[in-house]
Amino acid sequence: MGKQKVARLSVAAALLAGGVIAGATGSANASDQRSGATAQSCYEGAHYEMFWGVGVGRNAFWPEQGTYATTTPACADINVRPDRSYSFTVCFKATGRCNGWHYAPAGRWTVVASRVLDGTKFYLQANEPDSIGAYLAY
């Protein structure tokens, strides 16, 4: 009799675990959908900006060199959609460091810094000495 009870408990535990896994999968799918909606909302708040060159052989900046933009709750990342293909780096005021170059094809949204905290001060550089335009969402 004890073996049958153990067997029933094992089957019940397996079914329960299956339900938990199925529930977790459902939550992940819902989370992915919310992430897509959040990204769409983030891009809807995008604005077009000009990056200004600061001299021969130097990178173009946004905002104006020596100033910073501040991330918002609208986006979890810093995103660019340039008119022409360029590479971008994001530099942070708090650390004084830049995060490395990210290639952004023309007309496509590209994440140039991910999981950035709200209220973070930053500026962007483009690997172009001339003025360029891009949509930004952050």
* pTM: predicted TM-score of the whole model, two decimal places: 0.69
Residues 90-129 pLDDT 10s: 999 999 999 999 999 999 999 999 999 999 999 999 998 8
Give the integer Cα–Cα distance in Å for 106 and 61.
18
pLDDT digit string, tens, across residues 43-82: 998 999 999 987 777 899 999 888 999 999 999 999 999 9
Nearest by Cα to 99 from 85, 86, 83, 115 = 115
Which residues on neighbouring strands pair with residue 98, listed in sequence order?
91
Query: Residues 130, 121, 117, CA angle at the centre, nearest 5°?
Result: 125
**What pLDDT was estimated at residue 26?**
37
Beta bridge partners of 125: 61, 89
Q: CA 106 to CA 111: how far, in whole Å?
A: 13
Contact 48, 135 (CB under 8 A): yes
